[in-house]
Amino acid sequence: MTTAARRPADAAYRSIRPLHHLRPVHRLAAAAALLLSGAAATHAAPVWVSMDEAAFQVLQAQRIAHTEVERHALPASTERLSRPGHEALVILQAEEDDLARLSLAAHQALHRCGGFMVHESRQEARQAVAAADRHLRQGRMATQATVPDYRLNDQSKVNPLLPQLKESEILATISKLQSYTNRYYRHNVGARASNELADSWRALAPGRTDVTVSQFNHPNFVQKSVILEIRGTVAPEEIIVIGGHLDSITPQAVLRPGGRAPGADDDASGIATLQEVMRVLLQSGYKPERTIQFIGYAGEEAGLLGSKDIAKAYAAQGRNVMGALQLDMTDYKGSSSDITLITDYTNAPQDDFVAALAAGYLPELKVVRDVCGYACSDHASWTANGYAASFPFEAAFGEDNPRIHTTKDTLSQIGNSAAHALKFARLALAYAVELGSDHGPAAP
Ligand code: IPO
Ligand code: ZN
């Protein structure tokens, strides 16, 4: 999809660079342009979107055209599962063009990305809302897959591998990924970043006939998701997923293909973290009983687009994904704690398992729990399709990297270090080997 056609609508983006980065005079200019933008946009295809109340208020404040509004009140739930502005979910139709403007404005106003999900139809939007409602009522998502044994019993496999994980490898991968002008999902440079990531993953598994690297095509945009699969030796149909998103975003990148979006922490860090786990497992010759898939999702910043397509396709094919772990922002230590387990739009039993992995293998780390209050990363796509997902995050809500979605999300701004991300690589390796080294359902 060329970006040329988007020029008029995207023109609006000049107006909403994160204002707190602008000097007052520019802030004024930006505000003026913002007023203008509302009128300029809206000429592409309408899409169905669901969002929480807080995001809906931003949409209204931005005067983004929308129709077919449906408000679905959510059950009052424990603090553990929701935040102010999350009392209801709103379904509506809006112009696809306006979504990234909403995304950036939501980031500006709510200190979070997008906060909305794009759906193929009103029907699908209602299903997602119903699933969120069920989640709030039952405190967990019904999973359509087999529930694995969550007891820790593979120390003899995990412990020899943990020391092989290298911070230097993670640093090198983040450095490579941030060197692309941007990894925006609609630009050719974003597509090239995906293609070259796939090539680099193929180079990690020379001659392994049980390892395949493929790219998942998304119908609506050029950037592909990348999947490296290590086929299980005993139960290949049972799948464990470790994922992160390979795209990046800033207003500048939305505006033009040459716009800068380094996305070092968001989310080159997650891709680098899972790639280091992949490198050590492949180099060590580890052969899992279950299939392990490492996935670099495209289009996360525009509403979890890549992971949504993949999770939906897997559900439609009845694939037995027994667990998904999301790595989105692992390298900014904004809190006194080390790992923040996000507990909304996730699976509580698997969250407990991930916490047990940290306690068992990384006792020196401080692990806390928090909520996003919206579908804040790709784990939500797996949850929305009935799969168990967990999301260990870099910091507590509001203490995470303040430079995401700006040209300043670079390694130099996070101390040119991957020490924090290394903790997540250790956790993710323990997750992969403990779940990968067994098969079949948990003993009743
Ligand atoms: C994000 C994730 C969790 C929390 I708590 C706060 C912020 C960032 C995520 N929304 C994003 O922009 N991913 O690309
Ligand atoms: Zn982001």
- As a dihedral over the C-alpha atoms of residue 160, residue 166, residue 170, residue 171, rounded to 10 degrees, the angle is 170
Which atom of ligand 1 lies nearest, measured to the CA of 107? 12
Whether 301 is catalytic: yes
Instruction: Look at residues 128, 171, 107 and name the one whose alpha carbon lies nearest to residue 301.
Output: 107
Amino acid at site 107: H
Q: What is the DSSP letter of 443?
A: P
Q: Kindly identify the ligand whose nearest atom is closest to the C-alpha of 401.
A: 1
Please state the φ and ψ torsions of residue 69, each to the nearest 5 degrees: -70, 130
Q: Which helix or strand (DSSP H or E) is residue 316 part of?
A: helix 305-316
Q: What's residue 131's pLDDT? A: 72
Within a 10 A sphere around the Cβ of 153, how many other Cβ atoms?
Answer: 10
- Output the CA 398–ligand 1 centroid distance in Å: 10
Task: Tell me how far apart the alpha carbons of residues 355 and 228 are, in angstroms, rounded to a whole number.
Answer: 26
- For a pocket test of ligand 1, which of 103, 301, 329, 346 has the largest count of ligand atoms closer than 8 A to its C-beta? 329
> Is the CB of residue 96 below 6 angstroms from any atom belonging to ligand 1?
no
| Cα separations in angstroms, 215 against 140, 174, 211, 430 | 31, 20, 14, 26
pTM of the model: 0.84
Q: What's residue 11's pLDDT? A: 44
- For a pocket test of ligand 1, which of 185, 245, 328 has the largest count of ligand atoms closer than 8 A to its C-beta? 328
Q: What's residue 236's pLDDT? A: 98
Which atom of ligand 1 lies nearest, measured to the CA of 405? 12
> Is the CB of residue 393 below 6 angstroms from any atom belonging to ligand 1?
yes
Q: List all residues 6 or more positions away from 74 whose beta carbon is below 8 Å from its beta carbon.
A: 82, 86, 87, 88, 89, 132, 133, 136
Whether 328 is catalytic: yes
Whether 245 is catalytic: yes
| Sign of the C-alpha dihedral computed for residues 315, 222, 377 and 205 taken in this order | positive
Indicate which residue's Cα is closest to atom 5 of ligand 1: 397
Crossing angle between the packed helical segments 167-178 and 269-284, to the nearest 10 degrees? 130
DSSP string, 205-270: STT-TTEEEEEE--TTSSPPEEEEEE--SSEEEEEEEEEEE-----HHHHH-TT-----IIIIIHH
Q: Kindly identify the ligand whose nearest atom is closest to the C-alpha of 115.
A: 1
Instruction: Look at residues 124, 71, 62 and name the one whose alpha carbon lies nearest to residue 95.
Output: 62
How many Å separate Cα 221 from the centre of its chain?
17
Q: Kindly identify the ligand whose nearest atom is closest to the C-alpha of 106.
A: 1
Q: What's residue 103's pLDDT? A: 72
Which atom of ligand 1 lies nearest, measured to the CA of 393? 3
Q: Name all domains of the chain by residue range, CATH numbers in brackets.
A: 3-137 (3.30.70.260), 155-436 (3.40.630.10)
Q: What's residue 96's pLDDT? A: 75
The DSSP bridge pattern shows strands 46-52 and 88-95 to be: antiparallel
Q: What's residue 1's pLDDT? A: 41
DSSP string, 402-437: TTTTSTT-SGGGGTT--HHHHHHHHHHHHHHHHHHT
Question: What's the average pLDDT block by block, 10 residues per block, for the chain (444 residues)?
Answer: 43 43 48 49 70 84 87 65 67 81 71 66 83 62 76 97 98 98 97 98 96 96 98 98 97 94 98 98 98 97 93 94 98 98 95 98 98 91 93 96 96 98 98 96 83
> Is the CB of residue 394 below 6 angstroms from any atom belonging to ligand 1?
no
